[in-house]
Amino acid sequence: MSDSRISVGLAQIAPVWLNRDATIDKVVSWIEKAAGEGCSLVVFGEALLPGYPFWVERTDGARFESEIQKSLFAHYVSQGIVIENGDLDRICKAARAHKISVYLGIMERAADRGGHSLYCSMVYVDAEGVIGSAHRKLMPTHEERLVWAIGDGHGLRTHKLGPFTAGGLNCWENWLPLARASLYAQGEDLHVAIWPGNVRNTEEITRFIARESRSYVLSVGGLMRKSDIGLELPHSDLLTDTADDLMADGGSCVAAPNGEWLLEPQAGDESLYIVELDHKRVLEEHHSLDVAGHYARPDVTRLVVNRKRQTTAEFSDD
């Protein structure tokens, strides 16, 4: 493979829903699979580890002090990822062993915010197994706000990946112009958008971001089927009775820097989709439009980004 090209893998899979350890097992196996196919990067969907909260809109999730919602939330938090405790160590070891980078959506149980709330985080692990960033979703979307906390700008960062500069956002925050602009300003030319999984979410915005940024855009979604609801889960009968047969159909796709499809949205199947990217196309398309470079007017409009990790207390023991 030439120095201007890399292969990337889009792992469109279902989690072992709301089971952290079993989902980690599955993620590791797909990392190994992508590496075996020669991928430099493999991407998984939003909140895949341990799963998206599909129950909220189906079980009267906004009812205050509901015992059902409390017990489901408690289980969800118990399956969250505490990065500081090494919960991602096996994934980091797999990335290092197979020399592959990983973008993965997790439910982060944030130790620096008390440890009892969940943040929808997008984690980047490099090919040395080092966590480069954990971006907490800036604003949960609609019913997500009933179970997820609001993130911050700390993870709005990019990472070198061969000839590319990669960055990414969670789901609907890809619609935030300023969040996208913060990544463009850091040289992003490979944009990763992760989703819980639906073609309706990816079929338009993927090509739009590619044309705006003149970058490759990978959209990766997960799957969720009624059959993925385990009988051991709290209120499993209610979860099954209120579920659709298919709640997330994937929608993974790839657009080139001119907006053309390299991989049209894929629905319904659990699969690893592999696409080769050539950085030369990024340079060609920036000839006519570079929103952070020759087509920008920083003397007229500029973006200020606060990347400080937000916390509720600062302690001084002096």
- Mind telling me the catalytic residues? 46, 137, 171
Cα dihedral sign for 88, 92, 93, 94?
A: positive
Query: Any idea which residue has 């969040």 for tokens?
Result: 179
DSSP-assigned letter for residue 197 = S
CA distance 54 to 110: 21
Rounded to the nearest angstrom, the gap between the alpha carbon of residue 5 and the centroid of all alpha carbons in its chain is 23
Q: How far apart are CA 246 and CA 50, in angstroms?
A: 18
Q: CA of 40: how far to CAs of 45, 119, 126, 163, 166, in Å?
A: 17, 27, 10, 11, 12
Check the CA dihedral 270-271-277-281 and report its sign.
Answer: negative
Give the list of residues 6+ apart from residue 166 with CB closer than 8 angstroms, or none.
41, 101, 103, 124, 158, 159, 160, 188, 190, 191, 192
Residue 37: strand, helix, or coil: coil
Strands (E), 13-125: 41-43, 101-109, 118-125
